[in-house]
Amino acid sequence: MASITVPRVAARTARLPDNTWETVVGLTPARLATCAIVTRECWLDAASLLNMAGILRGILRQNDLMGRVSMTDLVERFSTESLLLPDRGARVMRPRLRTVDVHWHDYYELCLVVSGEADHVVNGVARPIGRGSAFLLSPADFHAIRPAGPEPLGCYNTVIDPALMERQLAGLGPPSAGDFPWHADDFLAAEGDLRRLQAEFEEPRLGSARLVEALVGCLVVELARRQPVEAAAGRPAVAGELRAAVRYVDRNFREPISLADAARRAHLSPNYFSERFREYTGSSFQHYLQERRLRFARSLLASTSLSVTEVCHAAGFNTLSHFGRAYRRRYGTAPSDRSRWPGSPASGDLGAVTM
């Protein structure tokens, strides 16, 4: 294969306007083109990628380029750096969605549907959504949207910075709502708050940052009240720092994090943190981390066409052999045995990315 010179740019790609999703989707059939544009690891300008869309898969076989594409980006990732401006904790957009391929974010996403119907597939589990439906996803969740009718899905799509969201979650206190994702079928009353949140982002004024945080807080509280509440019995009271450390693991399990990393988040020594972590979660740090990775991998295998090797690295495992052993111990079958799951995709993409 003839060598191809790939142009480089000195600065990161500029933040993307609202219509970039549709532009990229319309011109870029390859998954990794979209991925390279929207991730922090972007080193190509958008115009170059769009020009290269038809030959991108061939170029990716070259070692020098493949080494620059993170394995965790095999499923598209959207980032706060692409969608938020500095000191703006949340942003509301108004897309009209058709098919949305499997992807994830490094931020929290709150969506309110105002028109249309679709199947919302979160972590491999499908749920019908329509007017009034809302969902809140964490950075540990991945999802796809498949239309259930001719009308596009009209929605308020809200990008929320993790630091802002985690302040709101900490403020809820125990007992708090159950694990993400959160869902509601009757959230239309929140449309006014979302409109105001959108206006504050687009035309910031005196006190906008405080108002944005207050509006996000109201939305989180109202949605949390519609979730099943975790039973507090038998669970020890924990400091906010420990809860934050557990959320850190939930959000970053795909990365090479360690017990020492999480302990620093809780401002505790590793040994003491390990004891408190076991008391709070019922398992050791390493077991908890591996369970998160295995559940994520199983969902990817069930709902995408990624290979076992791709899933292994996307879920945070370093080696295929370790992943295979851990998976067989946990589920009693090899990760390559997709035939046991009805409805698993056999081949091909799940659709075009439009959000």
How crowded is the C-beta side of 135, counted as CA atoms within 13 Å? 22
Beta bridge partners of residue 111, listed in sequence order: 135, 157
The answer to whether 177 and 165 are in contact (CB under 8 A) is no
pLDDT above 90: residue 218: yes
pLDDT tens digits along 344-353: 443 333 332 2
Share of the chain above pLDDT 70, in %: 66
**3-state secondary structure at position 230:** coil
Q: CA angle at residue 72 from 354 to 307, to 5 degrees?
A: 90
| Residue with the larger pLDDT of the pair 25 and 176 | 176
pLDDT score at 316? 92
What is the full DSSP assignment across 110-142? EEEEEE--EEEEETTEEEEE-TT-EEEE-TT-E
pLDDT at 48 over 90: no
64 has a pLDDT exceeding 90: no
Q: Are the beta carbons of 79 and 105 closer than 8 angstroms?
A: yes
Q: Say how many residues make up the chain.
A: 355
Mean pLDDT of 126-144: 92
User: Using an 8 Å Cβ cutoff, are 16 and 82 in contact?
Assistant: yes
Who wins on pLDDT, 349 or 77?
A: 77
Rounded Cα distance, 346 and 280, in Å? 40
